[in-house]
């Protein structure tokens, strides 16, 4: 079984307070589900259609585990706290 990566690109942050409320809930929910944060912060450089906004990279043992965390009640509560506070592009990618 190959690793899986949860990659989130923030396109726009509209409400930093909502993002902070999300982060307070999301980090523990992701880590409790086996996620390991590999990178998070504003991009050091962006090319082509990329943006210099916040990017988060999280490793999981499988796509199934990443999806279970995403769909679970703890992470869903974090998403509810974020609401319309940011525009994001979230992807799950299987490792090679």
The answer to whether the Cα torsion of 15, 17, 18, 19 is positive or negative is: positive
What is the third-level CATH fold of 4-94?
A: Alpha-Beta Plaits (3.30.70)
pLDDT at 55: 96
Q: Which residues in the chain come in under a pLDDT of 70?
A: none
Q: Which DSSP state fits 96?
A: -
pLDDT at 82: 98
pLDDT at 56: 97
pLDDT at 35: 98
pTM of the model: 0.93
CB 7 within 8 A of CB 57: yes
């Amino acid at each position: 079984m190959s690793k899986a990566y949860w990659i989130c690109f923030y396109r726009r942050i509209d409400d930093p307070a909502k993002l902070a409320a999300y982060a307070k809930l999301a980090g523990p929910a992701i880590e409790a589900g086996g996620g390991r944060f590999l990178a998070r912060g504003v991009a050091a450089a962006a090319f082509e259609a990329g943006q210099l906004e916040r990017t988060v990279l999280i490793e999981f043992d499988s796509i199934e585990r990443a999806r279970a965390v995403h769909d679970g009640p703890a992470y869903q509560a974090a998403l509810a706290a974020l609401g319309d506070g940011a525009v994001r592009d979230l992807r799950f990618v299987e490792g090679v």
